[in-house]
Structures are given as C-alpha cells and as structure tokens.
Amino acid sequence: MEAKKRKKSLSFEVAMEKLDTIVKTLENGNIPLEKLVATYQEGLKYQKICQEHLDRAAFTLETLKTEGLNTDDTPSA
C-alpha cells in the first residue's frame, strides 16, 4: 500500500522520467519475458500517473479560460 501511495504522489516530471527509462529498457529488447511483462505493467502505472497529471492540468486551464471569458474585467496593458 505504501508503494502505491508513493507512486500516486509522484510529480509529473518524475513519473515521466521513470516511464522514459522503462520505455528505453523495453525497446532494448534484452530482457527475459517475465521481467518484460512486469516492467511493462510498471510502465502502465507511471503512464496512468502522467495522464492524471495532464488531465488535472487541462481541467485547470479550461476552468481558467472559462472564468476569464465570464468576467467583465479586461486586463490592463
């Protein structure tokens, strides 16, 4: 449970770096099948973390954009 909680709290950049390392390992192809499957599974976890970060960022940007369109204030130059 502790490892799952730790992965959830990873920053986007750290999760992406770990995912990149996993992709390079898998692309190398010099890995036993069982290890390959386990590594791929780990990569899916990091991919999910990255996607969650991206989804939250997109939601935040869309909210800011919508809020900006709904105000009468114009930015000062």
10-residue averages of pLDDT along the chain (77 residues): 60 98 94 96 98 97 88 60
The pTM for the full model equals 0.75
User: Is residue 4 situated within a structural domain?
Assistant: no
Note the pLDDT of residue 77.
57
Note the pLDDT of residue 43.
98
Query: Are residues 14 and 31 in contact, defined by beta-carbon separation less than 8 angstroms?
Result: no
d(CA 13, CA 18): 9
Considering its fold, how many domains does the chain have in total? 1
User: Is residue 43 situated within a structural domain?
Assistant: yes
User: Is residue 69 situated within a structural domain?
Assistant: no
Contacts of residue 45, defined as CB under 8 A and 6 or more positions apart, other chains included, come to 7
User: Is residue 53 situated within a structural domain?
Assistant: yes
Residue 32: domain span:
11-61
23-33: string of b/e by CB count within 10 Å (b at 16+)?
A: eebeeeeeeee
User: Is residue 74 situated within a structural domain?
Assistant: no
User: Is residue 52 situated within a structural domain?
Assistant: yes
User: Is residue 72 situated within a structural domain?
Assistant: no
Scanning the structure block, which residue is given the tokens 């709290």? Answer: 9
